[in-house]
Amino acid sequence: MTKTWNKVKEIIKKDPRYSPQAYQFVFAALDYTTNMLGKNQHKATDLDRHVTGKQLLEGIRKYSLKQFGFMALTVFKQWGVNQDADFGNIVFNLVESGLMGKTETDSRDDFKNIYDLKKVFDEEFKFDGNFDVRLSLSALGIKKR
């Protein structure tokens, strides 16, 4: 892990746009995505484990909603991630450092214009569950009229 962390620090020296947390999140989201797609991380060939840029972005979307909920967009902005293409930049920084692999057909463009972060994580966000707003208002000291 120290070797990986040192490589991530080297990436950040060359490309300081993204925080270390963004890189760690992409690793976690890749793991989430491969599991979501039923791919075995321990398969013999890279092709058996490979996910496309579009698949990874879908995994990132689902994983970030699970991890951060409505705060996902805020977290991403804090990390320097402002559009879907930023995830492609992070992935290809990891590829170029040898921390991730790619196929001959993979490119940064695979991550462009797949979805709009503001739309996905803000405008289309849905709160799941049964919430009693009266309890929330009471906790804030607001009395119902």
Q: Can you list the alpha helix ranges (DSSP code H) found in the chain? A: 2-14, 20-36, 46-49, 53-68, 72-79, 84-96, 117-118, 133-139
pTM: 0.83
User: Average pLDDT for residues 5-29, to the nearest whole number?
Assistant: 97
Residues 27-79 pLDDT 10s: 999 999 999 998 866 655 566 678 999 999 999 999 999 999 999 999 999 99
**DSSP state, 108?**
G
Of 76, 78, 79, 90, nearest to 120 (Cα)?
76
